[in-house]
Amino acid sequence: MRLEIIIDKKHQIPTSTMEALRQELLKQLGEPFPDLHVRVAPGSAMALTVSRASKEDRERAEAMVQEVWENSDSWMPEAENADA
């Protein structure tokens, strides 16, 4: 499975936060999806793409990504966390 998250550059998300998100996604989704490849990168718009997965796995992965994002206090680096 390939998971790609593109974050709009206008949001000025630090590279350390994007890497922390990538690491947390690997940690949380790696067990149920052992063939997982994650990419988090800046771009011109916000996007979430899940490929090389069944519809059920895609929906499950998208829900898990949403949960990880909503629980950012547990993985976001301290400096960025204080500003949120």
Looking at residue 69, which CATH number applies to its domain? Answer: 3.30.910.10
Tell me if 55 is assigned to some domain: yes
pLDDT of res. 79: 62
Phi, psi (deg, nearest 5) at residue 42: -75, 155
Contact 72, 84 (CB under 8 A): yes
Tell me if 33 is assigned to some domain: yes
Tell me if 11 is assigned to some domain: yes
Tell me if 7 is assigned to some domain: yes
pLDDT of res. 39: 98
Tell me if 84 is assigned to some domain: no
Phi, psi (deg, nearest 5) at residue 47: -155, 145
Q: Which residues of the chain have pLDDT under 70?
A: 79-84
Instruction: Give SS3 for 50.
Output: strand
For the entire predicted model, the pTM comes to 0.87
Number of domains in the chain: 1
Boundaries of domain holding 65: 2-79
